[in-house]
Amino acid sequence: MPELPEVHTTVLGLRKKIKNLIVKDIWTDHKKLIKKPADFNLFKKDIRGRKIENIERRGKNIIIFLSGNKVLWIHQKMTGHLLVGAWEIKSTPVFLGKGPLSEKINGHIHFVVLFSNGKMMALSDVRKFSKIIYSDKKEVFGSKELKSLGPDALDGGMNLSEFKNIIKGRKKARIKQILLNQEAISGIGNIYADEILWKASVSPERPANNIKKDEFKKIFFFMKSLLKTSIGMGGDSMSDYRNVSGGKGAYQNHHRVYKRKDKPCYRCGSKIRRIKIGGRSSHFCPQCQK
Over the stretch 117-127, which tens digit does the pLDDT of each residue have? 999 999 999 99
Q: Which residues contact 253 (CB under 8 A, 6 or more apart)?
A: none
Task: Look up 93 and say whether it is catalytic.
Answer: no
Q: Are strands 93-95 and 70-75 parallel, antiparallel or unpaired?
A: unpaired
Task: Look up 2 and say whether it is catalytic.
Answer: yes
Would you state the pLDDT for residue 39? 97
Q: In angstroms, what CA-CA distances link 197 with 46, 83, 126, 221, 234?
A: 46, 32, 30, 11, 21
Over the stretch 80-134, which tens digit does the pLDDT of each residue have? 999 999 999 988 899 988 999 999 999 999 999 999 999 999 999 999 999 999 9
Task: Look up 3 and say whether it is catalytic.
Answer: yes
Task: Look up 204 and say whether it is catalytic.
Answer: no
User: Out of 50, 58, 60, 260, which one is annotated catalytic?
Assistant: 60
Query: How far apart are the C-alpha atoms of 107 and 29, rounded to whole Å?
Result: 13
Q: Domains along the chain?
A: 4-147 (3.20.190.10), 160-284 (1.10.8.50)
Beta strands in the chain (DSSP E): 23-28, 34-36, 52-58, 61-66, 70-75, 80-85, 87-89, 93-95, 109-115, 120-125, 131-136, 273-277, 280-284
pTM of the model: 0.97
User: Out of 19, 44, 218, 280, which one is annotated catalytic?
Assistant: 280
Closest CA to 64 of 30, 111, 122, 18: 18
